[in-house]
Amino acid sequence: MILSITGFMGCGKSRVGEKLSGLLSCPVIDLDRYIETKEGRTIPEIFAASGEKTFRLMEKEALGEILSKAGQDTVIISLGGGTVTTPECAEAIRENTLCIYLRATVDTLVGNLQEDCEGRPMLARNGDSGSGKARLRARIEELMNLRSGIYESCASMIYDIDGKSYDVAASEIAAAVENCVR
């Protein structure tokens, strides 16, 4: 069984994935880290040198590699926040994984991201106006308006993460996953 975790940046995909990995005794692959290792550069470096379009092609290729290597083993893939915006990736996720959408409100995302915007190219846009927190909120709202429907369409399970620790989220998701496979 292949589990994938999707959701907006800052919702806890990597942390929940790591904890879920321990609970389900299976490996977790962080798609962004996989790409960074493969390319020998960071996501911000890829965006700066090659742009989002090239990054999305790399992401699609990396996802395909991971899915083909997983076979029948249980594995968790922590997706990037924008992975599902590529139609081929969204289709592969729907067809090949049990996808868990970590849904968070804009307030939660702003709180999680306001001190952690570095290294997140999709949050930095030229021409943004306003102060830091207001600009961040506006950008998150803009992207969530584009992405929330895609996240939901890929999801086998939607988990509301607001107000929950990563430990609690992973435990509840593990229980739900185990009930799904019974």
Whether the pLDDT of residue 127 is over 50: the answer is no
The pLDDT of 46-61, averaged and rounded, is: 94
The answer to whether the pTM exceeds 0.85 is yes
Taken in order of first residue, the domains within the chain and their CATH numbers are 2-170 (3.40.50.300)
Residue 70 CA: distances (Å) to CA of 65, 101, 119: 9, 20, 28
The pLDDT of 56-63, averaged and rounded, is: 96
Label residue 62 by pLDDT band (50, 70, 90): very high
